[in-house]
Homo-oligomer: A and B are copies of this chain.
């Protein structure tokens, strides 16, 4: 499992179809800026609106551009067991280095149900698995104790992406899960990634790194080198960007940003729609304010 910064890459569209040319540019931008992993088909990649055929294209291209320089992790969770298995098989077949499996959303399993679900899945694949906790989207919170139990029993469950923004949860994650050998804890929130890393976390699965990959990588390296003040400077220099990439639902603002930067069309699939005019202005100003454009 990687350490450092993984980018939850957007999926660019052109007139309703995948825009592979732009996608390749985005991937190269990431690899050239030393990113540690590409997370394909995460929420930021609009996974619920991508067909199996399209998934194949996106994963293969990411592998091709990344080569040995960055891991390719594939988002393969859903709220139905059979659909999740289908997505995992698709990821395996196309060469994924690992899987990001969100807790089943909407149907709100119990902690015991979560355990059984992850155990079932982990036994079906040899790929490494990152458990993804994002209560604001899923309606449930997987407890550190449950992750601990899963990771203890399933040797390929290797990491947690924690997007619960409460440091009560994050502190408990770190206290408990760091007892597990080689288990990694990633921040799922750019705006508190600095604090999670300073507390002993292993990396970030980032939206902002679509825009500022190098700066995120540097922040991570500073912390690992004990240069806390330098890391903090990066954190606060880009804090407004971290926040403003979420003034509408992700990935609406980051697609706006990447379109302003000239990387992609500002196009999304329903039920998501492009950023409103006020958001476009704020994103433009924010990018200028931190020197990105």
Interface residues, chain A, CB within 8 Å of chain B?
A: 43, 46, 48-49, 51, 78-83, 102, 104-110, 112-114, 116-117, 120, 136-139, 165-168, 171, 174-175, 191-192, 194-195, 198-200, 226, 228-229, 232, 235-236, 239, 243, 248-249, 252, 269-273, 276
Contact = CB atoms under 8 A, between A and B. Distances in A.
B273 A43 contact: no
A246 B198 CA distance: 24
A14 to B, nearest CB: 18
B116 A270 contact: yes
Contacts of A83: 48
A273 B79 CA distance: 14
A107 to B, nearest CB: 6
Nearest to A189: B167
B139 A136 contact: yes
Nearest to A106: B105
B200 A198 contact: no
B195 A107 contact: no
A202 to B, nearest CB: 14
